[in-house]
Structures are given as structure tokens and as C-alpha cells.
Amino acid sequence: MKWANLRLFAWHFWRNATTPKTFYFLYVVFILLTAYAAVSGIQSHITQNDIRKSHQVKARQSWEANPDKHPHRMAHFGTFAFRVNPPLGMFDYGLESFTGNTVFLEAHRQNSVNFSDATFSTGTLRFGELSLALLLQLVLPLILFFIGFSGIAADKENGTLKIVLSQGANWLEILFGKSLGLFGIAVLFLAPVVLMVVAALISYGGVVESDHLWLRLLAIGVGYMVFLFIVSATTIVVSARSNTTKHALLRLLGIWLLLVILLPKSAQALGNYWHPTPSKLAFQSAIEQEEIQKGDSHNPDDPFYNQMRDSVLSAHNVSKVTDLPFNYSGFVMREGEKISSTLYKKHHANLLNIYQNQNNITRFMALVNPYMAIKQLSMTFSGTDFSSYVDFQEQADTYRYQLSQKMNELQMAYISPKKESGSEGKTHVVGHEHWEEFPDFHHKPMAFGNAFKAALPAVISMILWLLFAFWLIVFTTKKAKAL
């Protein structure tokens, strides 16, 4: 293979594709869509984060404004945790509109994350939102198909291909050269998107708050370049295997429908069918039933806690809980919180395992569908995928548990064990200055290392698809015909 011939075919394809006025019209339309998606994404990102941060401040102010009160009442008063939209969320919305962003934190109960955009919108949200990632995943491949479908099929129809082959060129030079030419056009479309993302991150991204932001962007950029080369190579190969431009275009449109619509929807349907998820009511009921079997920390006559009381009295060599060196009710609440949290984590892990099995089908489909691979890679490094949502849940629940246990420890330390049990009146309170001792909730993005592990199947899939694209070009050189 001669590199001079390779460059010649790439340049020839570029010049023929970019000369018509329709190309410039198409490019301008794409730039306008890019600008609109960037502006709307930035506005949504800023608005959502301002709202969430404002409500987080208000929740903290409400917590600290409480007067002197019984600690366990404060544990049930609770507070809120808000998920901050990551900087790259303005590029790829991912699951952000469906997973929710707010959770109420209280003692003995792990609430679900609520207030997703999907709950306040119509069913049209299922068709997707116009984001920069959506343009690169759905629109740009379609544009490349329309630009490159005639790359070789047209030369077959007008007889040019026979002349080129007879003058010493070979199929490998033609296929690689035209693939590189189409890939160069793809980069021409990709460049303004990347520039807008970089400008938006510098201006509004909150670089300091993100974990390895530019490394994430680099991974996303490399992933999309690999994806666009795969699309370019596939376009030229299909054109080479088609006898007419009409057949080439129809085949490429069929491939687009298969990869973008049929396979993703089939993967979701199969995941739900093979691994059905329990309802919210069934999930909570299972936890409550098991918790009742363990014991009710609010019931003074519960057998489990009666046995625990006897053990505590025996360990301290006293006969009454009022003789203990700490408030026994706070001790019971602390142990009850441990039990309920352990039960919740067990059931939640089982639920996540179901979701993981559903997602595994999508990951498997990524091996036969580069669109699903780049979509997963893009969402994961942008911090808007399911694993990032689970990471927020875990951060919120860890904070909830620590807050509840802090209140229980305050009860044990500052509520006299000599006083009768209860939380009414001025004799069962601690000073309000203790409410400020516990720090406010601050959502941190999932660590880059964890994000890379979550994206590893998609990364492997993209590498395999890149190798397959090169193999497909080489294989086509043995099967292609000039007529």
C-alpha cells in the first residue's frame, strides 16, 4: 500500500464531498443545532445547579434554626440531600432526567431519590433531549451516511472505478483512503462540538469541583473519534459492497435504524423481561417485614430489645437502665439504626444486582452495537450514568446514617439516664448549638477510577470495534468487485 495513493484518495474524497453547496448548507444546519444544544445545555446546567444548591442551603438553615430539642426528634426532623449536576452533564444528559436529584434523609428510613424531570414532563421525553452527545451519537452518523454512501458505488456506476484499478491502484488504498477522507469530514463536524464543550467548561463547568475533568473530556473525545472512524469505515465498506448508490443508501439507513432504535429497545425489553424489578411497595414491605422479625426499637416490650437490655444491665452490673452511665434509650436507637441500615443495604444490594443484570444485557449488546458502546462510555465519563446515580445514593445514605447516629450519641451523652424516658418538655433536650457540629451534605462526583471501571466494558467494546473496522476493510478488499 502506497501512502501517496492513500493521501490522494482521501483528498479526492474530501474535495468531492465538500464542493457541493448542499454540504455547506448541511454544515451550517449542524452548527446551528450544535449552538442550540450547547446554549440549552448550559442554561439547564446552571439553572438546575443553582436551584439545587439554593435548596441545599435552605435545608441546612432549616436544620440549624431548630431550637433546643430532643436529639431523636432532630433525627426524625431530618434534612435533604441534593445531587449536583456534574460539569459534563451539559454535554451528555444521560439518565439525569430520569433518576431524580433529591432525597429526604431521616432516622430509621431510607427514602428513594425523587423529583426527576421525567415525573414533571410528558411522554415525549422518552424520545430524547437535544444534547451535544445526542448530535454526535444519532445525527452525525446519519450525516456521514448521506455524505459517504456514494463514495465507491457511484464510481462503479459511472465506470471510474475500473479505470482507477487499471492504473495501478488497489482496493486497500481505495477503501482506506476514502475512509480517512470521510473520517476527516467527521472530525470537521466534531471540532465545533468539542470547542463549545471546552469553552462551556472553562466558563461554567466548576472545574475545581470535578474529579479529573479534563481527563474525562479527553476519554470522551477519543471515544467519539474511534466511533466516528468506525462509522466512516462502515459507510465506505457498504458502498463498496453495493452495486448502486441506491442500494448503498438503503443499506446504510437500515443499519442506522437497527443500531440506533431496534437493538437498544430490544436490549431494554429483554432486560426487563428476564430480570423484572420489584415494585417500590414490595421492596419497602420486604424490608419492614424483616425489620419486624429483628425487633422494633420503638417498642419497650419487644423481646429482642428486652434481651439486649438484660445483656447491657448485666455487663454494667446494674439492675435498672436509670443506673447506666449513659442514656439507654439513645443506646437502643443507635442499635436499631444499625439493624435497619444493615437490612436496607442487603435488600438494596439485591435490587442493584437486578439492575446490574439488566445492564449486563446492554453491555453485551455493545459488543455488536458501537452506538450502545459510545453511549455508555459518554454517559459514564460525563457522570450521568446509572453508576453515578448509585454513587449519589450511597453518599446520601452514608450521610443519613452518620447524622442519625450522631443524634443518638448526643442523646446517650447529654440526656440524663436518671430521667424518665420520653422526648417531651424541657428536661429531655440538648442545646441547639450541637446542630451545627455535624457538617452539611456535599455531593462529590464519582471518582475517576470508579468511573473508568464502570466504563471499562464500553472501552473494550470500542477497541474491539476499531479492530473489526480495520479487519472489515481488509476483508472487503478480497471480496469487492469493480462491477
Do 177 and 235 meet the contact criterion of CB atoms below 8 Å apart? no
Rg of the chain (C-alpha set): 30
Report the 10 Å Cβ neighbour count for 410.
Answer: 23
What's the pLDDT at 298? Answer: 67
Quick: pLDDT tens for 308-352: 888 999 999 998 888 899 998 889 889 889 988 998 999 888 988
φ and ψ at 102, to 5 degrees?
-135, 140
Do 116 and 101 meet the contact criterion of CB atoms below 8 Å apart? yes
- What's the rounded Cα separation, in Å, for the pair 434 and 410? 8
Provide the domain count of the chain.
1
The SS3 assignment for 82 reads strand
Statement: residue 186 has pLDDT above 90: yes
What's the pLDDT at 421? Answer: 52
Cell of 136: 454526535
What's the pLDDT at 359? Answer: 86
Cell of 26: 448541511
Statement: residue 420 has pLDDT above 60: no
- What's the rounded Cα separation, in Å, for the pair 150 and 169? 19
List the domain range (segments joined by +) for residue 282.
3-479
Statement: residue 134 has pLDDT above 70: yes
Statement: residue 406 has pLDDT above 60: yes
Report the 10 Å Cβ neighbour count for 290.
Answer: 15
pLDDT tier for residue 208 given thresholds of 50, 70 and 90: very low
User: DSSP assignment, residue 114?
Assistant: B
pLDDT tier for residue 146 given thresholds of 50, 70 and 90: very high
Q: How far is CA 354 from CA 212, 273, 359, 360, in A?
A: 30, 11, 9, 10
151: Cα separation from own chain's centroid: 37
Provide CB contacts within 8 A for 253, sequence distance 6+.
145
- The reported pTM is 0.90
What's the pLDDT at 207? Answer: 47
Amino acid at 132: L
Cell of 341: 441500615
